[in-house]
Amino acid sequence: MYGLESFLSAIAGFVASPAILDVFWATLLGIVVGMLPGLTATLGVALMTTLTFQMETDRAILILICMYVGAIYGGSRSAILLNIPGTPANAATSLDGYPLARAGRAGSAMAIATTGSFIGSLIGMAALAVVAPALAEFALSFGAYEFFWLSVFGVLIAGQLTALDDPIKGWIAGLLGLFVAMIGQEGIHAVPRFAYGSTDLRGGIQLLPAMVGAFGFAEVLTVMRHRAYRVVRGSTDSVWAGIRQAARYRITAIRSGLIGTFMGLAPGVGEDMGAWASYAAARQASKNKEEFGKGSVEGLVAAETGNNAAVPGALIPVLTLAVPGSAPAAVLLAAMIIHGIRPGPLIMIEFPDFVYSVVAMVFLATCAMAILGLLLTRPLLLVLRVTRERLMPIIFVLCTVGAFAITSRVFDVWVMVAFGVLGFILREMKYPMAPLILGIVLGDLMDKNLRRGLVLSDGDLSPFFNRPISIALWGSALLFVLVSMPATRRWLGRLVGGGRRRQPSSGQPGGTP
């Protein structure tokens, strides 16, 4: 009841204040950022953090959440019209959205994507309201050992799920991120590590310039490396027909919303996997599997519901464990810390109303997204006429100024450039960026809790392994590593295959061979 009251009072507060204008312009800007190939939700939220850090906390976080929700949704436009996902989260959208657009049903496809995104966001929002307080209470029982394993688990699972074909590359990216977090004065004895006499390096590598580089400058280089995009031209049908078509797949939408929320909850995994997992599940359960990839409405609903549900899902671990569920959520975590909020298990004790304020922010952003998405279908197409040759230098200027603005250090601009070049090279070699960023976020947590745990146990490693929550965390981490190994998969395959071969005879007593 307290939660509902807080939620309604937050909504009333935002609606009755000029903040409601922020909701619309920030969501619209997010949609535009998401639409433009090369501009990701992470970059949008990171750049907007640099522009809002002097605002009041609630207003700044509201703008960032609107940008996040808008960008993940906006990416569906370019996926549908260009066959280029505006953000990586919309890759699954292009599989069915683009064939629909080519068939002259671009308007329907955009409406289907809007409806799916709306439903997904609402399901994720409900989960955020229900799960976050409970998870925060549960997390109060976490000690140094559990937080150590939580950070290990986060980097491992993010590495594995963002590089499904080659998990070792995901883990290497995570290790590099953790190492970056080790640079600078450590948090227990203030000893500078890997600083080599540099005052700037003593202060450590800040998350925001690194993220702006890895997701902004690296993206500029990637976009300029690849072929220019062309918009699908031709007839477009009515958007309203799309809403009716999407409404037919209620079960798919609810299933995808739950899957997306769950994938958002997993550390560092985020919207991309939310969309892919929902799409795979929808295909598995569909009566019309053969239509998937050829313009299936059901597939489009699943992909868009899944990725938008992951947005509020990714905020759950941010608020309750200070562990981001996705790359944009990592920026939001940093922004909350900049604004004096301390996400983590104590959030329901220190800032109980803030959690419900965030739920209200997601709700308002979702409503704005649906209204703008449906009403501005045609005007928004003009955005795609901006050529990369004109857009990319502006983005790079914003990356440079954004990296500089937070602490006014030219060093941060160099960090942005270094991470941009490193990020570009790693991306070209198929290393995912999300584990790298998660590593930077979780490095300090891992370092402090490993050493605290060892002090508490006087060097005894057993508490790391025999406490119930620790067992669940390290057991899951070990399972993930083992399952990803080709040898283990071959062995499991043989086991399952052998079982299947034996099944007929064991199922038929006295059966003939």
Point out which residues bind other proteins (CB under 8 A).
51, 54, 102, 168, 171-172, 175-176, 178-179, 182, 186, 188-189, 191, 193-194, 217, 220-221, 224-225, 227-228, 387-390, 392-394, 396-398, 400-401, 404-405, 408, 410, 413-414, 416-417, 420-421, 428-430, 446-447, 450-451, 454-455, 458-459
| Alpha-carbon gap, residue 63 to 85, rounded angstroms | 23
| Alpha-carbon gap, residue 454 to 113, rounded angstroms | 50
Where b means 16+ CB within 10 Å and e means fewer, 362-401 reads bbbbbbbbbebbbeebeebbebbeeebeebbeebbebbbe
The Cα-based distances of 197 to 115, 193, 200, 205, 495 in angstroms read: 55, 10, 9, 15, 56
- The residue (of 195 and 254) whose beta carbon lies closer to other proteins is 195
| Alpha-carbon gap, residue 416 to 214, rounded angstroms | 7
| Alpha-carbon gap, residue 205 to 407, rounded angstroms | 12
Residue that has been written with the tokens 């066959």 in this structure: 83
Enumerate residues 6+ apart whose C-beta is below 8 A from 510. Answer: none
- The residue (of 29 and 127) whose beta carbon lies closer to other proteins is 29
- The residue (of 113 and 180) whose beta carbon lies closer to other proteins is 180
- The residue (of 141 and 488) whose beta carbon lies closer to other proteins is 488
- The residue (of 186 and 353) whose beta carbon lies closer to other proteins is 186
Shortest Å, Cβ 359 to other proteins: 29
Shortest Å, Cβ 429 to other proteins: 5
| Alpha-carbon gap, residue 57 to 337, rounded angstroms | 10
- The residue (of 5 and 428) whose beta carbon lies closer to other proteins is 428
User: Can you say whether residue 198 is alpha, beta or left, with left for phi > 0 and alpha for psi between -120 and 50 degrees?
Assistant: beta
Shortest Å, Cβ 123 to other proteins: 33
- The residue (of 16 and 191) whose beta carbon lies closer to other proteins is 191
Shortest Å, Cβ 54 to other proteins: 6
Phi, psi (rounded to 5 degrees) for 184:
105, 180
What's the Rg (C-alpha) of the chain?
A: 23
Shortest Å, Cβ 439 to other proteins: 9
Residue that has been written with the tokens 């230098």 in this structure: 393
Taking a C-beta distance cutoff of 8 angstroms, is the pair 317, 268 a contact? no
Q: List beta partners, residue 193.
A: 184
DSSP structural state of residue 227: P
* Residue type at 27 in one-letter notation: T
- The residue (of 1 and 191) whose beta carbon lies closer to other proteins is 191
